[in-house]
Amino acid sequence: MITFVRGGTVVSPTGSQLLDVLIDGESIVAVLQPGSTALAADLTESADAVVDASGKYVLPGGVDGHTHMEMPFGGTFASDTFETGTRAAAWGGTTTIVDFAIQTPGQRVQDTLAQWHEKAAGSCAIDYGFHQIIGDVDSDSLKAMSELVAEGVTSFKLFMAYPGVFYSDDGKILRAMQTAADTGALLMMHAENGIAIDVLIEQSIARGDTAPYFHGTSRPWQLEEEATHRAIMLANVTGAPLYVVHVSAKQALEQIARARGNGQNVFGETCPQYLYLSLEEQLGAPGFDGAKWVCSTPLRARAEGHQDELWRYLRTGDVSTVSTDHCPFCMKDQKELGIGDFSKIPNGIGSVEHRMDLMYQGVVSGKISLEKWVEVCCTTPARMFGMYPKKGIVSPGADADLVIYDPNGHTSIGLGKTHHMNMDYSAYEGFEIDGHVDTVISRGRVIVDDGEYRGSAGHGRFVKRSLAQNLL
């Protein structure tokens, strides 16, 4: 099938230009200057489908490098399946996700990856890949890391938090980093001092400070900064590339920026919730309402200036990507598990549908440029996770993953408006976006257009990834 996308402004990290895009089957075959009226007329006449992008932006499909569909947590599961979650992602202009297969102690790494393949196969509306969580670093797990790289799973996540569940001590982290350095794999880190945090949680509950607000105060920024610094030092010893996930504290980002300035392969990821939401306004909501925004790392105090600094680090490039850490839970029967004890609230926020819109609002407000929007949401995630140049760029040979974005449109976020995630509330209820996702194309197929979903479960394919492509 030949599709001709005409009249739009193609946006890349290096600039924006009026260009036409020609798609043949699942791939982009040409990006054309719009000067030839005769050629445009011929393509318009001969194409099977014509998409008029006049007055709109043409972007590479969004790449969300951090999601958790169907993730087990605290006796329940993330409420989005691979089917519902990837459909919601498509509505919001994301055409590729990288989810996490999870190994816990006693499981073979290869078996857990097989389980996640089974969950996703035939269910996804968009393309997907996997990171592998290593919850038990031993000789078998280290051997599996080397084997999985050849299977296109080239990034591995460890936790400095959650003792008794995912926690790895410094010795285990060192060994995993040595393996990552040997294989070229990317080592991802949840950087919080979980041992100290557990003490603060216990003390908070003993005092009777059990409301959702105290989830945030029991995970102070100092323990994120400390763990981030420790992870950077261990990576420096081993030579492993390090990707610090969901960074929320400006002090942790100072550590990342310093390491990058010294030439170390350290990368920071943040999420929309840390750019827009706060300890005071959301976690501190009346009653139990703050449970909607319980996630880890936690939302930080706006009065301390974390949000403004995160935007600044986006502009300087020290925040490399914006992902969602999409791990949704409903209030009823899930978040409510923590009534009277915040430590039992399932940790997670759902935002896979809203990332592209929320970050575009940063363009509108002057916090980032149009090109930076595409860089952190599309191109750099594709490069970081070994999918470039098939993903993350509008260029001949790339997969035909495109978003037609209307800067003159409008999006009202909230339940019953643009909310397609499997949740009974929206973390961004009432947010207004000065832009709109009009058309989404995944590998040449229009899956969202003019307010209508045209995709289907099973369209998405597993992406076998190469090594990270943007090391310093």
Give the model's pLDDT for residue 283: 98
Number of other CB atoms surrounding residue 202 within 10 Å: 12
Going by their DSSP bridges, the two strands 155-159 and 127-133 should be labelled as: parallel
The highest-level CATH class for domain 61-385 is alpha beta
Give pTM, 2 decimals. Answer: 0.97
What are the φ/ψ torsions at residue 420 (nearest 5 degrees)?
A: -120, 5
Tell me the C-alpha distance between 222 and 227, whole Å: 9
Helix H segments across 239-354? 250-261, 272-276, 306-316
Q: Which of 73, 68, 123 is nearest to 97 (CA)?
A: 68
Q: Are 360 and 373 in contact (CB under 8 A)?
A: yes
Assigned token pair, 386:
């070994």
For residue 59, the 8-state DSSP code is E
Name the CATH superfamily for 2-59+393-453.
Answer: Urease, subunit C, domain 1 (2.30.40.10)
How far is 66 from 268, CA to CA, in rounded Å? 12
CB 131 within 8 A of CB 157: yes
How far apart are the C-alpha atoms of 298 and 97, rounded to whole Å? 23
* 3-class secondary-structure state, position 338: helix
Distance from C-alpha of 71 to C-alpha of 342, rounded to nearest angstrom: 19
Give the C-alpha distances (Å, rounded to integers) separating 1 from 47, 125, 217, 445, 446.
8, 19, 55, 9, 11
Phi, psi of 20 (to 5 degrees): -100, 150
What number of residues does the chain have? Answer: 472
Distance CA 421, CA 184 (A): 35
Q: Which of helix, strand or coil describes residue 260?
A: helix
Q: Which residue from 8, 138, 132, 118 is spatially nearest to 60, judged by alpha carbons?
A: 8
Q: Are strands 186-190 and 445-449 parallel, antiparallel or unpaired?
A: unpaired
pLDDT at 417: 64
Residue 419, pLDDT score:
87
At 159 the pLDDT is: 98
CA angle 323, 221, 208 (to 5 degrees): 110
Reduced to 3 states, what is the DSSP secondary structure of residue 137? coil
Strand residue runs (E) in 160-312:
186-190, 242-244, 266-270
C-alpha 352/C-alpha 359 separation (Å) is 12
Residues 460, 399: Cα–Cα separation, whole Å: 12
Find, among 168, 175, 83, the residue nearest to 124 by Cα. 83
Cα–Cα distance between 240 and 157 in angstroms, integer?
Answer: 13
Q: What is the DSSP letter of 279?
A: I
CB-CB contact of 36 with 404 (8 Å): no
**Which residue carries 């040409």 as its tokens?**
30
Residue 464 pairs in a beta bridge with none
E strand or H helix at 172: helix 170-183
Position 433 scores a pLDDT of 97
Helix (H) or strand (E) holding 2, with range, is strand 2-12
> CA–CA separation, 408 vs 114, rounded Å?
44
Please report, for the chain, the start and end positions of each structural domain, with discontinuous segments joined by +: 2-59+393-453, 61-385
Full pLDDT tens readout for the chain, 472 residues: 999 999 999 999 999 999 999 999 999 999 999 876 677 777 778 899 999 999 999 999 999 999 999 999 888 999 999 999 999 999 999 999 999 999 988 999 999 999 999 999 999 999 999 999 999 999 999 999 999 999 999 999 999 999 999 999 999 999 999 999 999 999 999 999 999 999 999 999 999 999 999 999 999 999 999 999 999 999 999 999 999 999 999 999 999 999 999 999 999 999 999 999 999 999 999 999 999 999 999 999 999 999 999 999 999 999 999 999 999 999 999 999 999 999 999 999 999 999 999 999 999 999 999 999 999 999 999 999 999 999 999 999 999 999 999 999 999 998 766 689 999 999 999 999 999 999 999 999 999 999 999 999 999 999 999 999 999 8
